[in-house]
Amino acid sequence: MLRVKTVLVVLLLLILALDRAYAVTLTATVDRTEATLQDQILLTLSVEGTQSSEKPKLPATKSFDVLSRGSSTRMQIMNGQVSSSVDYNYLLLPKEAGTFEIGPATITHEGKTIASSTITLKIGSANSQPQSQEDLFITTSISTKTPYVNEQIIYTFRLYRRVKIANASLENPSFEGFRVEPLGEERQYETVVGGRTYAVTEIKQALFPTREGRIEIGSAKIQCDVAVRTRRRRGFFDDSFFGFSQTEPRVLRAPSLEVNVRPLPSEGKTPLFSGLVGTFAMETRVSKTQLEVGDTTTLDITIQGRGNIKDAQPPPFPSLSYFKVYDDKPALTVDTSGDAYGGTLTIKKALVPLEEGTLRVPLLTFTYFNPESEKYELCKSSPLTLQVLPSRDKEKLNLVEALGTTTSKEEIKILGKDILPLKTSLSALRPYDIHPWHWSYMIFFLVPMAGYAGAVVFTSRKKRWEEDLSYARSKTAMKEFNKRTVEVKKQITGKDASEFYRLTSKALKGFFGDKLNITGSALTPLEIEHQLHRYTRQKERIEQVKAVLNTLEAGQFAFQQHSTREKEDLLRTVKTLATFFDKRIKK
């Protein structure tokens, strides 16, 4: 039993849930199904059964502009049942005539997509006449339908109204194929159309066709909120005076326009043609007609007229030898106050006469196309002459100085290239031996090294001489011996015979003493013999030394008398022995 109850409860809950799911619906309604291009259609998408749904999606359409108008929520309690719904409002602005289908709009709720039904709308083309009967309408017009290229056309937009409007926004057509220049401020005035007084807002624009052929000017569109007069007075606060009057959005369209742009005629077109189309005049003026050479006068060229003055260029100014011309930036003043676009182009040139006398300012000319006469017309400046006086010296000097500081140096121009000339000096006939080998070079190379080697040897010997006494004695032994023998020679013929022997013995002993680095005078023949055995093996020489020393000893003390000849022989033997041992004994 309990089981059956449980099953029933579950079923009930399921049914309820299903019921809830099916309760959400989407309906699409319009305020009318037939309209014209000037009308707008209010589309309401109502989502019923929930308040928390997302915004419905409306498929994109080419034929209408869709404007969102907000949403409103409703809640109803009927017979104890609560139902809630959300209304989403859209304003459909038809763009073209015909029959169109709107929708279906869709909404996604709890994973399910709910679609509305589709609505068929019939849009008729805008009827021109009924406008005058309306309280609010717009018109557009152009001054000419067959302009020339670059000729200005005046595009006039007018808004006629008998009701109060707010938040008006004008959407101009794109004006493709035209250059657009605004023409003054918007004008407000009143006019009577069909016996009814309208307030008119007028906006003018100047259009300059940039190409020839048929060009369509798209339709102008204005969006605004219109105050609606309500039939029923609901209350005091509904009065418009308090700003609570009801408004209704409106979109107004003007029909598109078409112009047929003509090309400029080729007949009469000259190279002087400036490109200007309209009516123009030129004037020239100089600031002073009397001046000195080097002085400055200003030439004013004024081009004034109606038309495409923005295209105006300074007329060509011929280069003259007697004038230096400095150009200033042209100034353009646009005048849009009148019914047409125009203005003034002022060109200033500083003229510096370089010669004295009566100088003519050249005539300036250009042609423009006049669409009224349909002809090219010539514009000429008035002739001007300048009286130029010679300049004073001081000023001339200044001019020269100024030129001196400003002259820029020119780049050297390479006119051609060639090799440099021959070498014609006869020195070119002297052979130049590049080979770096010559005996003189070798000597030059070796001599310094040899010099250094010599210096090294010299210093080392000098050093030994100073440091080693035995060496020095040995080296000077022969020299000392020779000195002594000079004394001995004097004694050969002398009276004192023993003096000869004494000096000779002293010389010989001194020699051996120096050579052997022993005190010579104390040497005995035996000692000398003993020492000499170390230096030579020629015993006969040693014996000879011994014999000579003994002879000399004997001569000193035995009063032995020798002849002069014998003395000379003895001295010669002593010398020979000294020379012999000088070579043998080396330190």
Partner 1 sequence: MPNRKAFLTIFITALCFMCTLCTARSQVQSVPPSPDHISTEPLDAPSLFMEAHKNYAEGMYTQATLRYEKLIRSGIKNGEIYYNLGNSYFKMGMLGKAIVSYRLAEIYLPRDEDLKANLSYARQLTKDRIESKQFLPFINQFCFWYSTLNVRELLLVFLIAHLLFWCLAVIMIFWKNEYSNLTLLISLAVVVVLGASLALKLYNYSYATGGVVLAKEITVRSGNGINNTALFQLHDGAEFRVTKQEKGWLQIELADGKRGWVESRWAGTCRLDSWPPTAKD
The strand order across the sheet containing 165-171 reads: 165-171, 221-227, 247-253
Is 565 a residue that touches partner 1 (CB under 8 A)? Answer: no
CB-nearer residue toward partner 1: 243 or 436: 436
410 vs 433, beta carbon nearer partner 1: 433
Instruction: Return d(Cα 150, Cα 277) in angstroms, integer.
Output: 6
Among 233, 423, 534, 537, binds partner 1 (CB under 8 A): 423
Q: In angstroms, what is the minimal distance from the CB of 445 to partner 1?
A: 6
Residue 412, interface with partner 1 (CB under 8 A)? no
Q: Please state, in angstroms and rounded to a whole number, the distance separating the CA atoms of residues 374 and 371.
A: 4
Q: Does 564 bind partner 1 (CB under 8 A)?
A: no
Instruction: Report which of 95, 155, 87, 144 is spatially closest to residue 116, judged by C-alpha positions.
Output: 87
**Residues of this chain, 490-529, that bind partner 1 according to CB under 8 A:** none
What is the total count of residues that contact partner 1 (CB under 8 A)?
33
Of 194 and 431, the one with the shorter C-beta distance to partner 1 is: 431
Residues 4 to 33: which contact partner 1 by CB under 8 A?
A: none
Per CB under 8 A, does 420 bind partner 1? yes
Q: Is 437 in the site for partner 1 (CB under 8 A)?
A: yes
* Cα–Cα distance, 156 to 140 (Å, whole number): 6
Question: Number of C-alpha atoms within 13 angstroms, CB side, residue 10?
Answer: 6
Based on CB atoms, which residue is closest to partner 1, 22 or 444?
444
**Rounded Cα–Cα distance for residues 96 and 100 (Å):** 10
> Which of residues 127, 230, 296, 459 is near partner 1 by CB under 8 A?
459
Residue 312: which residues within 8 A CB-CB, separation 6 or more?
Answer: 274, 276, 280, 303, 332, 345
**Segment interacting with partner 1 (CB under 8 A) among 247-255, 313-321, 455-463, 525-533:** 455-463
Length of the chain: 587
- Which one, of 332, 319, 388, 308, lies nearest residue 356 by Cα? 388
Q: If binding is defined by CB under 8 A, does position 414 make contact with partner 1?
A: no
- Based on the shown chain and the rule CB under 8 A, indicate whether residue 465 belongs to the binding site for partner 1: no
Contact partners, residue 18, CB within 8 Å, separation at least 6: none
- Only one of the segments 175-183, 317-325, 428-436, 547-555 lies at the binding site for partner 1 (rule: CB under 8 A); that segment is 428-436
d(CA 194, CA 117) in angstroms, rounded, equals 44
Kindly give, in sequence order, each residue whose CB lies less than 8 Å from that of residue 321, ignoring residues fewer than 6 positions away: 354
Asked whether position 427 contacts partner 1 by CB under 8 A, the answer is yes
**Does the footprint of partner 1 cover residue 431 (CB under 8 A)?**
yes
Q: Which is nearer to partner 1, 195 or 431 (CB)?
A: 431
The CB-of-452 to partner 1 minimum distance in angstroms stands at 5
Q: Does 430 bind partner 1 (CB under 8 A)?
A: yes
- Under the binding rule (CB under 8 A), the answer on residue 415 touching partner 1 is no
Is residue 212 within 8 A of residue 261, CB to CB? The reply is yes
Shortest reach from residue 461's CB to partner 1, in Å? 13
- Give the interface segment with partner 1, choosing from 7-15, 435-443, 558-566, 570-578 (CB under 8 A): 435-443
- Among 244, 444, 465, 557, the residue binding partner 1 under the rule CB under 8 A is 444
CA distances from 274 to 209, 277, 343, 566 (A): 17, 9, 16, 149
- Say which residues have a Cβ less than 8 Å from residue 242's Cβ, sequence separation at least 6: none
Q: Which residues of this chain interact with partner 1, rule CB under 8 A?
A: 417-437, 441-442, 444-445, 448-449, 451-453, 455-456, 459
